[in-house]
Structure formats: structure tokens, C-alpha cells
Amino acid sequence: MLKDQVFLTQTDTSIGFVSQNADKLTHIKQRPPHKHYIKAVKNLETMQKFTRVPAAHKNRVRRAKKTTFILPSGNSFRVIQDRHHLLLLKRLDWAYTTSANLSGEDYDEDFARKAADVVIEPLSKNKQASKIYKLGKNRLKRIR
């Protein structure tokens, strides 16, 4: 039941949609279906179920805060350490996360509340976006 719902919540970086159903998020955001979502995971053990981090970057990934990593496989992950956001992820284990707006548009709270199945209060201002790094076998490239 939780797996098909879209939550509107304060994430570690912004107000966003969180769900395990990527198709539902794509429909809500009116986003091209080929674009990938960031997987937010509750800990490194959960991340290891999906992919393997190159050895040269393991310490960087383990110590990073509010940072998204795009791995050589094309998957992107962020290990969540924010207390508020972790409450939901502990129930879900992992979830796709995205900003709570239409693709390419600014945040609109009315739209976000109508589009979500469950709203988790409190919702505060958007914070600074996460840093994004693309990891190669040995290389590191800053995307944002």
C-alpha cells in the first residue's frame, strides 16, 4: 500500500514528492519518461542492494551529506541523514525523490498538495539543492 502512494514531504534539501512508483511520479510531474529519478536510501546497506560504488569513491559516498551521486551504471543515489526525512524512509527502505513541481516549473504549493496522495507536515521553505557528482571508476565530475 505505501509503495504506490506519492508523499509530499520536506526532504533533506527541498519540499518534494517521494514514492516508490516512478510511473506515478512521471505522470504527476508531466516529465519525459526516459529521465531517471534520484533514489533516496536510508543507509549504505540499502544502497548496496541496488548497485556497487567504485572503490575509489567509497569514503566520499559514506561521508557525504546532502549530496547525490550518479554511478557508472547510470543510477543516482543519495543517502539520507536528515532526521525528518528518515522517518518516512525507514518505512519504505528506499524511494524515488523529486521536487514538488511540474517539470521545468517553479514550486506551487496548491499543485503539490493536490497531486500528492499523502501530505506530511510541516512543510518549510525550500533549502539549497543537493550537490551532484558523477562518479567514474577513478574520476569525479561535479554536475551541480
**Rounded Cα–Cα distance for residues 16 and 88 (Å):** 13
pLDDT recorded at residue 108: 83
**Rounded Cα–Cα distance for residues 82 and 89 (Å):** 10
| pTM for this predicted structure | 0.87
CB 5 within 8 A of CB 118: yes
pLDDT recorded at residue 134: 92
Query: Which H/E stretch holds residue 26?
Result: helix 22-29
Q: Which segments in the chain show pLDDT lower than 70?
A: 1, 126
Q: Which domains does the chain have, with CATH numbers?
A: 2-142 (3.90.870.10)
pLDDT recorded at residue 126: 67
Per residue in 46-60, pLDDT tens? 888 888 888 888 889
CB 71 within 8 A of CB 77: yes
Q: By CB neighbour count within 10 A (0-12 exposed, 13-18 middle, 19+ buried), where does 1 fall?
A: exposed
Q: By CB neighbour count within 10 A (0-12 exposed, 13-18 middle, 19+ buried), where does 24 fall?
A: middle
